[in-house]
Amino acid sequence: MKLFDKKRCLILGLVLLVLLFCPAHIFAGGEQEKEEIPTLIWLTNVQGGTNPEDDLIFQKEIERLTGVKVKLIKPPAPEYDTKMTAMLATGEPLDIVYLLDSHFDALWDQHLFEPLTDRIMSSKVLSDPEIIPMSEWDRIRRDDGDIYAVFQKFEQGTLPIVRADWMEKLGFAPPETLDEYYELLKAFTFQDPDGNGKDDTYGLALGFTIYESSGFFGAYGFMKGFAKDAAGNLYAPHATEEAIPVYEWLAKLYREGILEPNFVTNKSSNFRDLFMTDKAGMTCYWAAWVGMFNQMVKTKNPDSPFKARGLVPPKGPGGRLLRAGSDGLMVIPKWSEHKDLAFKILEFWHTHEGCVVSCFGELGHDYNIVDGKYVMTEIGEASMGQHSAPQPKSLKWKNPFGELEGFDEAAEIIRKYARPEMVTPYRAQWETIVRSEAAKIILGDISAEQGIKNMQRRFKEEGIYK
Amino acid sequence: MRTRKNILKQIFKVRLLYLLMLPTLVYFFIFAYFPIFDGFRISFQDFRFVGESRFVGFDNYREAVQTPGFWRAFRNTLILGFGNVMLTAFIPMVLALLLNELRIAAWKRFTQTIIYMPHLFSWVIVGGIWIFMLSPNAGIINVIRNLFGLDSIYFMAKETYAQPIMIGVNLWKQAGFVCILYLATIAGINPELYQAAMIDGAGAFKRVFYITVPELLSTLRVVLLLNIMGALRMFNQIWVMRNEVIAPKVDVLMYYVYERGLVQFKIGYAAAISVLIFVLTFIITAISNRFIKYTA
Amino acid sequence: MIRTTTLRKLFVVVNNLILISLALTMVVPLVNVLAVSFTTDLESYENVIKLFPREPSLEGYKALFQQIAILRPFLNNVFVTVIGTFLHVILCAMAGYVLIREKFLGKAILVILVTIPMMIPFEMIIIPVYVTVKRLGLMDTLWSIIIIGVVSTFSILLMKNYFEGIPRSLEESAFMDGAGELTIFFRIYLPLAKAGLATITIFQFVYKWNHILPAVLFLHSVEKYTLQIVLKSLVVSQELSGTTLSVANNARMGGIVFAIIPLIVVYLFAQKYFIKGIMIGAVKE
C-alpha cells in the first residue's frame, strides 16, 4: 500500500480546498486587537437590520452619523436571554446592552450597570422634556435615586385589532362592551364575512403570549402582572375570583368555536397569518401592527378590501384598560471601556437622525432624500420600519412619510387607555402560572374557580405569595 | 528507585499509545472534567456575576429539595425516561422482526431507509412537524377523527396526553436507529441455525422466537444502556415541544436547570441541581449496568 | 401445510400494511414540507396538509435567499460540520485503537477517564464551558463550534469494538516486519475499518449539523451564524417586542428543506457501510 494513493490524495485535496476557501474570518480570534478608534460592542435583539447583511449596513450608517464604530451582536430572539446572561456572567467586553425591564430589574442589584443620571441630566437631548418628559425618567429611577438605563423606543401596547371591512359588511358598529364584542366575534365566525361560501373563519385568533393582555381583562380593571394589596403584599389580579367572568367569557368563545383553537401553541406569526389571510376577524397585538397589517396585505394584493383598525377596548365594571408595552432599555455595563462613546450612541438614538435610523434604516439603502424629501427605496418598502422602533420615544418625532394606514388612531387608543404593568422580578413566573391555568380554563378542562385556586397555590409554591 | 525507573521505562515503551490518546484526554479535561468541577464549586455559592460570590454551604441543595418544582421535574424525568427506555427498546425490536420478514430486498432497504430518516433531523424540525400534525384543526390525526365524526382533541394542550405524546414522538424519531441495531444483529446470525431448525420441523414463528429473539438479547442490553443515558439528558425535545400548559407534566430536570440558570439567573441553584443530576446519572447507570449484566 | 401458506400470505399482507402506514407517517410530513416550500406566499398560509403546491412558485426560496440571506449560514454550517466530523473521526479512531491494546501501564485509568464524560451532557455545564471557551480565545470563532464534541466516548467505544473485530494475525506479521505502532494504526487498522469510520462519520455529521446550543452561545458576529440559529428563529420564532421579521410559511418550509437535504444525501451515500459498521461496532460488545 502506498502512502499517497489516489484516494488519500483526493481526500487531502478536498480538505485543503475547504480550508482554503473557507471565509477568512474563521481564523480570526475572538479578542479584538486594540485599534485607534475603538469599536463598541452592542448586544441587542431588536435594533439593526432584518438579516446579517442588513446589520452590516446598519453599523456603517451608525458610524456615518455619529463617527462611532459599532458592532452588533444579535442573537436570535428565542435565545436572547440565554446569550445575554452568559455574556454578562462572564464579563464579556460589552458597551451597550438592550434588555427588557424585568431582566433589568432582576439583574440590577448585581451591580452590573453604570449609573447614568449625571450624563442624562447634562445631555441636551435626553434632558429635554420635549423629547422625554422627566416623569418617564422617574419611572425607571431606582431606589438609590440613580437612573441606570436609557429608553429604546415608545413601547406602545397591545389592543384588539379588527377587520373593519368585515365589520362594516356585516353591519356592526365598533363594539363597546364584552357582550357586544361577543356578538361581533360570533358574526365573524358564522356569517361568512369573507363571502367565499365556506365556513372557514374564526372570530378571534390569539397566541399564548397575548391573551391576557388584550383588554378583555381590562374591562374589569385587571392589569397584567402584580399589584399590591392594602397590607403592601404582592398579589396577581388575574388570579382572583373577580376575574372569573372574563375567563368564562373566553371559555365560551372557545366552546362555541369562535376562538381559533390553536391558541396555546400559536406563535405570534401564526395568529398574525390567520388575521392577514381572511381566517380571523380579530386579533390582539401591538398597535404598530395595525399599520403593518394593512401595508403587508396591500403590497401582496393591492385589490384586497382588507382594512385593519385598532379598537377601543371593551368597557366594563373596571372601565377600560390596556397594557402598555414593557420598557425596552439600553444599559452600559460597568466594565465598558468606552462609556463616553457608548453614551453618545444612546443619546444619538433619540435625536432626529437616530429616530430616522430606528424607523426606516439607512440612507441610500432603505430611503433616499430627494429635494429635501424622504423617499423610500424598494428595499425600504419591503422591510418597512423593521429596524426596531416603529415609533421612537422622542415626543418631537414626526414621521416624514406619514404613518401607515390605521396606525395613528391605534396609537391614540394606546395613549388613552394603556398603562404599564408593575415591574417585579417575577414576570416569568406570573406568565407561566397564569397563562397555563388560564388556558386550561378556556379549554374547558377545569372550572374557572379551580383554575384560580391552582394559580394561588402555585404562586405560594414559588414563594411569591406569603 | 528501581520501581520508578521501571515505571518510566514502561511508560516510554507505550509512549506512542499515550500520544494517540493525548488529544482525547486534553479535550475531556478541558470540556468535561474542568467544567463539572467548576460547576461543583459554584453549587456551593450564592453566585454573583460581578464581585465576590459568597460561600453558602448546602443552601442551594437545601432549597432544591424543598422546591416542589424540582420534584415535579424529577418525577417527570423518571416517567418520561422509563417510557422512553422501554418503548424505544422493545417496539423497534418488533419492527426489526417485521422488516426482516420482507422478502424483496429493495423494498426492505427502502422501508428501512424511510423509517430511519427522522433520526437524521434536528428536534427543531421534528418538534415543528409534530406540533402541526397534532393541531386541532389541520393536524392529520384530528382530520381523520373528524372523518369518523369525532371531535377534535387539542393534543398539545392537554396534560393527560402530554407524556404519551413526548414518548411517542421520541419513539418516532429514534425507532429507525434502534431498529437498525437489531437488523444488524439479525443479519449476523448464522444461517445454519435456521436450517437446522427447519430440518427439526420448526415453523416460521418458532424459528423467530427460539433463534432470532434470543440472539437479539445481547443487542437489547446495549440498547437499554444507550436509552438510559439518553433519557437522563433529554433536553432538546422538551425545549422545542413544551408549552406552559403541559409544562408541569413534561419539564424534565435538564430543562429545569436551563430555566433556573439561564432564564431566571439563579446560577448557583442551577449548578446545585446539575450536580444532583450528575450523581443521579452515575447511580442509575451503575445500577442498570449491574442489573442488565446479571439478567443477561 | 396449506394452512401455513394462507397464514403466511395473511401475515405478509398485514406486515406490509403496518410497515407502509408507518412509513407514511414519515413521508407525509416531509412531502408536506416540500410542497409548502414551493407554494406562493398566499397559498402557503393555508393551514392544511399539502402534498403538492397548487401553483408552484419559487417565492419562498427567493425570500430565503434575499430577505433571510441563508447562503452564508448554510456555508458556515457546512464548514463546521465537515471539519468537525473529519477531526472527530481521526481522533476517536486514534483513541479507540489505544483501548484495544492489551494491558499496559495506566490503561485502567484511561478507560475510566474516557468513559465518565458520557454522563456529562453539554447542557449541564453550559456556563463553565462558556468561561473555558472564552479563556481559550475561541469565543466568536467557528473553531469553538468545531471543538465542542470533537471527541466522544460513544465514538471511541464504537471504534474500539470495531478494531477488536480485525484479526490480530495481520498486525502480528507487521510487527515482525518491524513496523511501529503508528504504521500499524494508519496502514492496517484504519484501512480495514472503513465501515466503522463511516458509522461514526454519519453519527457525528448529523450531530454537528443539528447542534444549535453552542452556536447560540459562542457566536456573536452575525456573519458567523450557522444554519441552525437562523432556522430556529425562522421555524419557532417567538418574539416579545413589537417588531419582528415577517416571512411567509413557504420560506419557513424552504429553510427546513435546506437543513435536511445534506443529511439525507450523506446518509444515502454512506448507508451501505453504516449498517455494516453498526453491526460490528455497536452491537457486539
B217 confidence band (pLDDT: 50, 70, 90): confident
- Whether residue C100 is found in the same domain as residue C199: yes
Q: Is C170 on the interface with B (CB under 8 A)?
A: no
* Torsions phi, psi for A22 (to 5 deg): -70, 150
Strand partners, A285: A159
- Considering the segment(s) B39-295 as one domain, its CATH architecture is Orthogonal Bundle (1.10)
Does any CB of chain A come closer than 8 Å to the CB of residue B49? yes
Let me know whether C167 and C80 are in one domain: yes
Residue C30: which domain range? 2-61
Total domains in chain C come to 2
C57 and C85 together in one domain? no
Q: Where are the domains of chain B?
A: 39-295
Give A31's pLDDT tier (boundaries 50, 70, 90): very low
| Domain termination residue (choose one: C61, C81, C101) | C61
The predicted structure's pLDDT at residue A118: 93
* C264 has a chain B CB within 8 A of its CB: yes
- Among residues B156, B157, B215, the alpha carbon closest in space to that of B181 is found at B215
DSSP string, B152-179: P--GGG-HHHHHHHHHHHHHHHHHHHHH
The reply to whether C123 and C174 lie within a common domain is: yes
Interface of C with A in 235-264 (CB under 8 A): 236-246, 248-249
* Same-domain check for residues C213 and C95: yes
CB of B183 less than 8 A from some CB of A: no
pLDDT at A254: 93
Whole-number percent of chain B with pLDDT over 70: 95
Let me know whether C144 and C20 are in one domain.
Answer: no
Q: Give the CA distances from residue B84 to residues B48, B75, B228, B290, in Å, rounded to whole numbers and listed in that order.
A: 38, 14, 8, 20
The answer to whether residue A96 scores a pLDDT higher than 70 is yes
| One domain, residues C35 and C157 | no
- Best mutation target, A12, A50, A97, A303, to test chain C (most C CBs within 10 A): A50
**pLDDT averaged over every residue in chain C:** 83
- Judge whether A148 lies within some domain: yes
> Which residues in B lie closer than 8 A to residue A260 (C-beta atoms)?
137
- CA separation for the pair A216, A211 (Å, rounded): 9
Note whether C99 and C46 are same-domain residues.
no
Q: Are residues A174 and A279 in the same domain?
A: yes
Rounded to whole angstroms, how far apart are CA atoms B284 and A357?
A: 57
Residue A6: pLDDT band by 50, 70, 90 thresholds?
low
Specify the pTM.
0.82
Write out the three cell numbers for B73.
421535574
The reply to whether A31 falls in a domain is no
The verdict on C38 and C73 lying in the same domain is: no
Residue A130 lies in a domain: yes
Domain count, chain A: 2
Please state, in angstroms and as integers, the Cα–Cα distance from residue C272 to each residue in B136, B152, B174, C47, following that order.
Answer: 41, 43, 19, 39
Task: Please name the residues in contact with A7: beta carbons below 8 A apart, sequence gap of 6 or more.
Answer: none
Cβ of B146 under 8 Å from any chain A Cβ?
no
Q: Domain for residue A6, yes or no?
A: no
Task: State how far residue B116 is from chain C, nearest Cα, in angstroms.
Answer: 9
Same domain, A108 and A253: no
DSSP character for C69? -
Which of A379, A394, A409 is at the close of a domain?
Answer: A394
Residues A311 and A331 in one domain: no
Examine the fold and report which residue of A336, A362, A394 is the final residue of a domain before the chain moves on: A394
Q: What is the pLDDT of residue B90?
A: 92
CATH number of the domain at C204, please: 1.10.3720.10
Cβ partners under 8 Å of residue C244, min gap 6: A77, A268, A269, A386, C237
Average pLDDT of chain B is 85
Q: Which candidate from A81, A443, A445 shows the least CB-CB separation from B263?
A: A81
- Is residue C132 located within the same domain as residue C239? yes
pLDDT attached to residue C281: 62
CB contact under 8 A, C225 and A51: no
The band of B3, judged by pLDDT with boundaries at 50, 70 and 90, is low
Looking at C61, C85, C104, the residue that finishes a domain is C61
List C-alpha distances in Å: A158 to A132, A206, A303, B38, C209. 22, 12, 28, 44, 39
Give residue-wise pLDDT tens across range A275-287: 988 889 999 988 8
Per-residue pLDDT tens digits for C112-130 = 899 888 878 777 787 788 8
A451: domain CATH number is 3.40.190.10
**A184 and A252 housed in the same domain:** yes
Q: Is residue A29 part of a domain?
A: no
Q: Which of residues A394, A429, A448 is at a domain's end?
A: A394
Which residue ranges of chain C lie beneath pLDDT 70?
1-4, 235-246, 279-285
Query: ipTM of this model?
Result: 0.85
Q: Are C157 and C28 members of one domain? A: no
What are the tens digits of pLDDT across the range C148-204?
A: 989 998 899 888 888 888 888 877 887 777 777 778 888 888 888 888 898 889 889
**With 90 as the cut, is the pLDDT of residue A149 above it?**
yes
Mean pLDDT of A397-423: 84
My answer on whether C16 and C81 are in the same domain is no
* Interface contact C233-A77, CB threshold 8 A: yes
Q: Which of B51, B67, B131 is nearest residue A111 as measured by Cβ atoms? A: B51
Which amino acid would we find at residue A308? Answer: A
Domain membership of residue A263 as a residue range: 158-323+418-461
How many angstroms separate the CA atoms of C151 and B24, rounded?
6
Q: Considering CB atoms only, which of A78, A267, A388 is closest to C243?
A: A388
